Chains A and B, each alone.
Chain A
């Protein structure tokens, strides 16, 4: 398919700009643009067709089943889009005076209260733009807390699980901490013996996903919390898997002191092909003074942004956070009310149903009931037929199903990480099982079919090594394009 730049013709255009009968103003010559940027020059119908053709070459939850583990690809209700598009939200300037933004501030205050109730922690900042920014914010808050107690330089290490998302160790580095890893035991819990040897007076805290990226609730979580708190350290909860436990167990009650919530996972902000998201952080009352500034506060019946927070770590992004995301997530929560617990019920039921139906065909590294997701291994297919998790993933595409997450977590070889979410009905789950069973048969009968999959997408497997070796990351206006023989 052509790029929009390849559909461009000089002099063609779509949009117009208002012109007023006013004197023209010249930019000082030294600052004036020499040649305008080569933006596309297309008509509006051509632009609409281009976007539509691109959409046709993409796959979303609206297209079909998307069991991408750890990403919580649930249905994105359309009413949330309509609500976020109300002019009173969409066209509200972020520097509007508080008196002129009472509806927005009220909504944020309500969302803070809901997140506090769901996490069991009283202080909430809505500011972080995504889960990974929530992580970094949480670590910066942790450092500010210890600095305030005079333990800042002493506590220089963060402990993460060997099953952790890559964002955890990356956030640790960005926050200026050293990293220590702890092993997973045979049941998929944190290895307490290993943990005890690593927690000491230099430990600032733990970062943990619970349920873990294996989809298993840590059965020793109370002891884990005790080990850290006894050492004067804090516990950080990576909320990536919160969808499993809403209304069932609260991070604050598990012993966590700082939590981030992924509004784009648990609370249905659409993922948008990579973003936007929202990563609010909830904390214990002793940690609240260190949260980012500003904070939404309520004075009687009025709401305002409080900038007077002397112990705050400061600002982590512009304005008060990704407000449009708040509208969608709040609308989503209101559709459930207290039955948010049923959301997690069905998420866990769906995952366990898939696990029960697939466990005889793929290897199951940790033989327990799962929570909202589970990890299988395709190493039996690799051993017997030379078929990898990647081959399984690519072949699933031919069934109109988005592949699960593969090769993660790293502790499971040939990992297939499957998360159906609560919004799939049994018939869709059965289709997925049928596809997986057929693929496991094909692995034996026609392995080449899998190795060359997918067969029904606009492209087949792409040469990623070459893309990284000679990066072509923008259109070359001289007309050069990448071909099989090389860059033409």
Chain B
């Protein structure tokens, strides 16, 4: 029965008003040759209680971070999501609203997006932010599209030390944009600024990540300068959780700052939905993709908010639009706003410090236990690469049998790192959890 409940009385009154004798008659406009002649081959309808039983059974077959001690990261992190985030995510006025095309009906979500844009600008040190992108991968493609048109150039340079999925998405999108992608190899876990500068000649954009895919702190100011000197837009992919302790990309000359917002206010949810953020220098505002909220006044002089610069967008500009984006990730971005407001500036600094000191502690304990770091001389933030002496995928399997997921197998993406694990340590892990990781790794790989 689903969510319709049509009474016989209503049905006959409505059919009479329409002037037809059956609902089927309304479907007569579908040519006979393309009508579906049988019942859909799907299982019978379930009641709500039965749906929950089925989905609980499916959910029960997943090893989530509440039942397995997890050090997985590589783009999605098990940071704590405070209960207050549920307030915004569960209010029907936000949850069940559409894109705020009618501002008088939507001041709540419009103001919230304006506040979100402000928070992203503050985090990144940039002038303007859009209302969100799909995720931390697609915003990289968006940044390349901006750069293609802002510079008229047709090459993007991507550091190999950028998250592999981000690079893959850029490569999928690039041909349609008329862009060639050039990668610059990692050297000892980081990107060499001179090598990047050399590759950047005639580039539209130069994409790097801080901290990079190995958790290593790049010399980001030098990388941004390499891009800027070549007349390319420096695109910094950053971790929002790091930006209490790490310098804002706007402060070291980035033209565009992007990133995955999940760690700041969204659950892991097997990869989505999350929000990607994209912020830029003010001169790029009219090339930005997606929604942007602006402040204005109403007829009575009261402050209010509207979707603005809509002449960039597909519903006005059509084939000349700066993007095809309609649906974005507003609700997840508002989760991010509430999270950042809950944390505040001091909380964000403390969060960065806690993650860093826990990760440094884990590095030290693993080294004491005889494991070598893959990039021992590099400073890191909350993730680091450690060598486990044999195929990391086997080590993961054996560690998981002991209730610990020790991290990501870097050999899936990087040659020469088959024995390396990428270990992520969020504030939800404790020193005792780190001890358990060390014990289990010692047992299976020591």
Contact = CB atoms under 8 A, between A and B. Distances in A.
Given A61-B92, A335-B48, A393-B102, A47 B342 contact: yes
Interface string A139-183: 110010000000000000000000001110111111110010000
A62 B318 contact: no
Contacts of B351: 17
Interface in B1-55: 1-6, 10-11, 13-15, 17-20, 23, 25-31, 33-36, 39-46, 48, 50-52, 54-55
Given A93-B268, A315-B172, A463-B297, A28 B108 contact: no
Interface stretch (B191-199, B226-234, B354-362): B354-362
A73 B98 contact: yes
A107 B60 CA distance: 12
Contact of B306 (A27, A339, A457, A464): A464
A213 B105 CA distance: 24
A321 B59 contact: no
Contacts of A56: 93, 108
B52 to A, nearest CB: 7
A192 interface: no
A196 to B, nearest CB: 19
Interface in A31-58: 31-34, 36-42, 44, 47-48, 50-58
A309 interface: no
Contacts of A475: 114-115, 118
A287 interface: no
A219 interface: yes
B373 interface: no
B273 interface: yes
Closest 8 CB pairs of A and B: A319-B271, A62-B92, A88-B59, A272-B331, A58-B108, A94-B271, A103-B61, A484-B301
A88 B358 contact: no
A356 B268 contact: no
A71 B292 CA distance: 20
Given A33-B244, A319-B165, A327-B55, A468 B98 contact: no
B419 interface: no
Given A39-B344, A60-B95, A253-B36, 10 more contacts: A20-B354, A59-B97, A62-B92, A100-B63, A174-B177, A174-B323, A248-B35, A275-B99, A339-B1, A483-B301
Contacts of A334: 43, 45-46, 50-51, 54
The interface centre, meaning the residue of B2, B145, B327, B379 with most chain A CB atoms within 10 A of its CB, is B327
B147 interface: no
Contact of B107 (A28, A337, A459, A484): A459
B168 A315 contact: yes
Contacts of B68: 100
A97 interface: yes
Interface stretch (B133-141, B201-209, B436-444): B133-141
A458 interface: yes
A109 to B, nearest CB: 11
B329 interface: yes
Interface string A345-357: 1101110110111
B11 A349 contact: yes
A444 interface: no
Nearest to A464: B306
Contacts of B306: 462, 464, 467
A398 to B, nearest CB: 10
